[in-house]
Amino acid sequence: MYTFWHQGQNGVNKPECSQAFGAKQWRLIGHSLQRTILILLCASVPIGLLWLNVESILLWCGQDENITRMAGTYVLYSLPDLIALSFLHPLRIFLRTQSSILPLTVSAGVALLLHIPINFLLVVYFKLSIRGVALAAVWTEFNIVICLVCYICLSGVYMDSLPGLSRECLKEWTSFLRLAIPSCASVCLEWWWYEFMILICGLLLDPKTTVASMGILIQTTAFLYIFPSSLDVALSTRVGNELGANRPAKARTAMTVAIALAALLSFLPMGFTLTVCHSWGRMFTQNPQILSLVSSTLPIVGLCELANWTQTTACGVLRGSARPSGAAHINLGSFYLIRTPVALTLCFVYKFELVGLWLGMLAAQVSCLIFMISVLVRTDWIVEPERAKELAAEPQQTHILCQQEEQCICRILYFPYGETSVEPLLTVVSF
Question: Mean pLDDT lowest for which of 189-193, 292-296, 349-353, 423-427?
Answer: 423-427
**Residue ranges of the domains in the chain?**
1-167, 172-410+423-431
Angle between helices 384-393 and 2-22 (to 10 degrees): 100
Q: How confident is the model at residue 15 (pLDDT cuts 50, 70, 90)?
A: low
Rounded to an integer, what distance in angstroms lies between the CA atom of residue 145 and that of residue 161? 18
d(CA 221, CA 308): 10
Q: Determine phi and psi for 98, rounding to 5 degrees.
A: -105, 20
Task: Please write the tens of the pLDDT for every residue from 227-241.
Answer: 898 898 889 888 888
pLDDT, residue 392, reads 59
The DSSP letter of residue 374 is H
Q: List phi, psi (to 5°) of 371.
A: -65, -40
Confidence of residue 426 (pLDDT cuts 50, 70, 90): very low
First to last CA, the chain: 23
Partners of 415 in the β-ladder: 423
Residue 28 in contact with residue 168, Cβ under 8 Å? no
Helix (H, G, I), strand (E, B) or coil at 414: strand
228 burial level (CB within 10 Å; 0-12, 13-18, 19+): buried
Taking the C-alpha atoms of residue 105 and residue 107, their distance in angstroms, rounded to an integer, is 6
In 210-353, beta strands by DSSP E: none
Average pLDDT over residues 415-423: 33
Question: Each residue of 7-33: b (16+ CB within 10 Å) or e?
Answer: bbbbbbbbbbbbbbbbbebbebbbbbb
Task: Report the distance separating Cα 225 and Cα 301, nearest Å.
Answer: 11
Give the Cα separation of 284 and 280 in Å (integer).
Answer: 8
pLDDT at residue number 17:
67
Mean pLDDT of all residues belonging to the chain? 82
